[in-house]
Amino acid sequence: MKPGSVDTLLRELTAELPPEVVVTDADVLEAHRWDQAEWAPAGTPGVLVRPASTAQVQAVLRIATALRVPVVPRGAGSGLSGGANAVDGCIVLSLARMNRVLEVDRRGMFAVVQPGVLNAAVKAAAAEQGLWYAPDPASWEFSSIGGNLATNAGGLCCVKYGVTGDAVLGLEAVLADGSVVRAGGRTMKSSAGYGLTRLFVGSEGTLGVITEATLKLRPRPPPATTLLAAFPTLVAAGVAVTDIMASTRPSLLELMDRTTVRAVESHAAMGLDVEAAALLLARSDAGGQQGAEETAAMAAACEAAGATFVAQSTDPAEGDLLMQARRLAYPALEKQGATLLDDVGVPLSRIAELLSAIERIASERGVLIGTFGHAGDGNMHPTVVFDRNDAGELIRARAAFDDIVSAALSLGGTITGEHGVGALKRPFLGEQLGEGGLQMHRAIKAALDPLGILNPGKVF
C-alpha cells in the first residue's frame, strides 16, 4: 500500500463498521500472519477485520476494491498450506465471529451454517437431531467449516462418504466488489446452470468469501467394527489396500508406516507393533450381517496380502483406542522435531510405489519421514521431521518435501489431496494442470476478481 493509504483504509473501515470489528493491535496482527504452515511465506497485514454478518463482509470488500487493498480470508487458522497467510498491507478478514449454526432441518436432512462455526459444532448440532455430518478432517475439533470449504477438506471417513464438497448443497458468497451470490440450494440434486457451488468449494478464498453454507446431513451409521492389520513390507500393505477397495467399501481405511507407528508408541504407549513395516486400520459401519461380511472380506484381503497380524473388534472402546492411535500420528511426529507435513495423492494401484519412493527419498536426503494417511483413497501425508536449528537439515527437509510432490506427480497423482495449494504448493500447480489448465484458472479469477485483491499469491 502507498504511504498514507493505511490511514485512509482505517478511516473508511471504521466509518462503516462497529469499533470492535476493526483491529490494529500489533500483537494481534502478528498472531494472524500465518496459518499452521509457518514455513510458507507470510507478510504483515495492515489491519484485521472481524465481521459478524454478511453485510459487514460486503462493506469490507467494497472498501478493499475501492482502495485496491488485498484481502486474505481466514477461518480458524488451522490450515496447512499457507492459504491464510497474510500479504503485506492486506486486510486479514477473519470469519471467526460468524460462528452460528443457523438451522438444522431434521426432515430435510440439512444444516445451514456460517463459515466460522467449527466442524465439531456442526456435528454436535446434527447429533441433537439424530443426524450426522460426515466430513471429518483430522482437525475436526478445531477447524472451521469455512476453512473446510475453502480447501475441500477430506478426512478419515471420506473413503466412503466423500470430501467436504460432497456434503455441500448450496452456499452464499461475497465477491470482490461486495456483491452477494448464491449457488446451489437445499435440494439433494440440481442441474440448473453451471456447478458454481463446487467452483467456490476448494477455491481457497481467491474467488469470493463464503458467508453461509447449506450442508447435507445423514442418518447416524450403526456402531463400527474395527480391523487392525500389520504387514512385513510396504508392498504387502499396498496390495491389501487395493484388494480391499476392489471388494468392499470400508468406512475408513488408514495406513501408518513404521516411522509413524514408532513415534505414536513413543508418544503414548499403546502396544502397537513397532517392527511392522506398516499398519492398516479399517472400519465397516454397515452394521449387522453386512458389516460382518465386509469386515471378514477386509481381513481375508489382508491375510492374502501377507499380513503378519489381523485382529477385529466390535467393542466401541477398543475401536476408539485404535482410532486414537491414528489421530495421534501427526502430533507424535511433531514431538520428534520440526515438521514439514506433505499432502499428496496417487491412484490406489500405486500406493506401494509412493511409499517406496518416500523411503528412498528419506534415505537419499538423510532426513526422517513418517508417512500416514487415507490409504483407501490414495491420499497420504508424508511428514518430514528435522532440526529447525540445523540450516543444512532444513535445506534437506525442504528438498525431500519437493521430491515427494514430484514423486506423486510421476505416479499420476496430485500435489494435494485435501490441504489445498495455498502458498506452499503453488510452484507445483502448473506441472499438474498444464498451461491450458492454468489459463482457465486465470480466466475464472479475472471474471470474479478482476483486480486480483482476493488472497493474492495463493493457488496460482
Q: What is the pLDDT of residues 32-56, one digit of tens each?
A: 999 999 789 999 999 999 999 999 9
Give residue limits of the domains in the chain.
5-94, 101-219, 225-410
φ, ψ for residue 370 (rounded to 5)?
-105, 130
Instruction: Indicate the SS3 state at residue 98.
Output: coil
Which pLDDT does position 364 carry in this prediction? Answer: 98
CATH of 101-219, one of 3.40.718.10, 3.30.465.10, 3.90.226.10, 3.40.50.720: 3.30.465.10
Cell of 126: 446434527
**What distance in Å separates the CA atoms of residue 374 and residue 348, rounded to the nearest whole number?**
11
Same fold, 101-219 and 225-410: no
By the 8 A CB rule, do 306 and 379 touch? no
**What distance in Å separates the CA atoms of residue 356 and residue 434, rounded to the nearest whole number?**
27
* Helix and strand counts by DSSP (H, E) for the chain: 15, 19
**What distance in Å separates the CA atoms of residue 146 and residue 143, rounded to the nearest whole number?**
9
* Dihedral sign, Cα of residue 131, residue 136, residue 140, residue 143: negative
What's the Rg (C-alpha) of the chain? 22
By the 8 A CB rule, do 299 and 282 touch? no
Closest residue by Cα to residue 374 from 254, 258, 227, 285 = 254
**What distance in Å separates the CA atoms of residue 116 and residue 98, rounded to the nearest whole number?**
5
φ, ψ for residue 138 (rounded to 5)?
-55, -25
What residues does 353 pair with on adjacent strands? none
The residues near 195 (Cβ < 8 Å, ≥ 6 apart) are none
**What distance in Å separates the CA atoms of residue 63 and residue 61, rounded to the nearest whole number?**
5
The residues near 314 (Cβ < 8 Å, ≥ 6 apart) are 223, 225, 226
Cell of 222: 450403526
What residues does 105 pair with on adjacent strands? 110
φ, ψ for residue 10 (rounded to 5)?
-65, -40
Q: What is the pLDDT of residues 195-252, one digit of tens each?
A: 999 999 999 999 999 999 999 999 999 999 999 999 999 999 999 999 999 999 999 9
Q: Cα–Cα distances in Å, from 431 out to 74, 99, 379, 410, 437?
A: 27, 37, 19, 10, 10
The CATH homologous superfamily for domain 225-410 is FAD-linked oxidases, C-terminal domain (3.40.462.10)
Q: Cα–Cα distances in Å, from 97 out to 52, 118, 170, 247?
A: 5, 11, 21, 45
Q: What is the pLDDT of residues 72-92, one digit of tens each?
A: 999 999 999 999 999 999 999
Which CATH fold topology does 5-94 show? 3.30.43
What residues does 281 pair with on adjacent strands? 228, 254
Which pLDDT does position 2 carry in this prediction? Answer: 57
Instruction: Indicate the SS3 state at residue 108.
Output: coil
DSSP assignment of 385-413 = EE-TT-HHHHHHHHHHHHHHHHHHHHTT-
Q: Cα–Cα distances in Å, from 44 out to 31, 228, 312, 443?
A: 10, 47, 52, 29
Neighbour count for residue 354 (Cβ, 10 Å): 26
**What distance in Å separates the CA atoms of residue 87 and residue 74, rounded to the nearest whole number?**
12
By the 8 A CB rule, do 433 and 443 touch? no
Query: In this structure, which amino acid lies at residue 198?
Result: R
By the 8 A CB rule, do 105 and 111 touch? yes
Residue 291 burial by Cβ neighbours in a 10 Å radius (0-12, 13-18, 19+) = buried
Which pLDDT does position 38 carry in this prediction? Answer: 76
Which pLDDT does position 5 carry in this prediction? Answer: 82
Closest residue by Cα to residue 158 from 186, 133, 189 = 133
Low-confidence ranges of the chain (pLDDT < 50): 3
Closest residue by Cα to residue 355 from 235, 228, 259 = 235
Instruction: Indicate the SS3 state at residue 236.
Output: helix
Which pLDDT does position 184 carry in this prediction? Answer: 97
**What distance in Å separates the CA atoms of residue 27 and residue 35, rounded to the nearest whole number?**
15
